[in-house]
Amino acid sequence: MTNKDKIVTFDDMKILENKDDVLIIDVREPSEIQKTGKIGGSINIPLNELEKALKNINEDEFKGKYGKPKPIESFPLIFSCMLGGRAAKALALAEKLGFNDVRYYKGSWKEWEEKLKQN
């Protein structure tokens, strides 16, 4: 899969938000999300906590902290942030950790908010 194949579009996200068969992870800082809001169904794991969350905490701790089951390495993950840069870094980190179904929303929150205002 090339990096282009790993990009999720706004239209994809509209279909995938709030689905249980994919985990959308917003890697912004909690203070950023408090100011802007987040994509429906997404959880917040700041980029600097991502490796610990995906690899070092157990299933119960993950569910307690993030409200969703801890993903196994084959579970689909989609990363978003403010502009797409941190989401791309999160994708690379998740791949390094062994996750093999990872994508990112290149437009991230900025595009999401703009397109929602247009509809």
24 within 8 A of 42, measured Cβ to Cβ: yes
**Sheet of 43-44, strand order:** 7-8, 102-105, 77-80, 23-26, 43-44
CA triple 16-19-20, angle to 5 deg? 140
Active site residue 81: yes
Measure the CA–CA gap between 85 and 92, rounded to whole angstroms.
Answer: 11
Largest separation between any pair of C-alpha atoms in the chain: 41
Q: Catalytic pick from 81, 88, 94, 102? A: 81
Catalytic residues: 81
